[in-house]
Amino acid sequence: MLNKYARAFFTRVLTPFAALLLRLGVSPDAVTLIGTAGVMAGALVFFPMGEFFWGTIVITIFVFSDLVDGNMARQAGISSRWGAFLDSTLDRVADGAIFAGFALWYAGSGDDNILCAVAIFCLASGQVVSYTKARGESIGLPVAVNGLVERAERLVISLVAAGLAGLHKFGVPGIDVLLPIALWIVAVGSLVTLIQRVVTVRRESAEADAAEAAVTGPAAADSAGSAGQGSEADR
């Protein structure tokens, strides 16, 4: 849901920066790789140490590369299938790193196996939610559904909560509870979104199969009839 509005806004805001990078000779693929590396560093270095505030700051700086690289490709007129593939693949890597960082914290110093499991579920469900749409589209279905918690929602909810929870180290009392709440929200929302997409793909595939049968059925029947007439004439 956030993708529809926030993405368009930040694309306009970041357009001058994307143009500057192009003038400096930076390629969109380089921005994609650097952005992913920055997100992974913020998540896998800071989060396992419980430094949620600084980890979120680092991740937020680099996560906008996901908008900048595409903007650069469009401005330069070099959009390609490879660029789209690389961007989507590294998005999954970055998302996985964020929730892996949470899981490492709760498996270690955070000392909460349940929240560790919830973070792992968020990681896995996020990957599967993305896969269901990609797989549905690969077999020719539109997968026309806006899920309850898609990638933008997962990132905003988890990173805002992590950043605020990190203020606990600056003396803000009780605020660290926001991260567990956010992880549960993302987990439940991802499950609902997964169900929405599976149901949508099931409905769209049934409609597509029915439409195909309606078109090929009479043609197949005519073909069979013609074949029968021909064999009768031969006899």
Q: Does the annotation flag 32 for ligand binding?
A: yes
Point out the residues that are catalytic. 91
The reply to whether 36 sits in an annotated binding site is no
132 labelled ligand-binding: no
The CA distance from 30 to 6, in Å, is 24
The helix or strand, by DSSP H or E, that contains position 205, with its residue range, turns out to be helix 178-234
Q: Residue 78 corresponds to which tokens in the numbers above?
A: 């070099």
29 is in an annotated binding site: yes
Cα angle value 75/76/82 (rounded, 5°): 105
Task: Say whether 160 counts as a known binding-site residue.
Answer: no
31 is in an annotated binding site: yes
Q: Collapsing DSSP states into helix, strand and coil, what is residue 217?
A: helix
* Residue 66 in marked binding region: yes
Q: Is 80 annotated as a binding residue?
A: yes
Structure tokens at 93: 């890597």
The three-state secondary structure class of 60 is: helix
Is 77 annotated among the ligand-binding residues? no
CB 93 within 8 A of CB 43: no
Rounded to whole angstroms, the Cα distance separating 134 from 126 reads: 13
Is 112 labeled as ligand-binding?
no
> Are 156 and 200 in contact, with CB atoms under 8 Å apart?
no
Task: Indicate the annotated binding residues for Mg(2+).
Answer: 66, 69, 87, 91
- Residues in the annotated binding site: 29-32, 66, 69-70, 74, 80, 87, 91
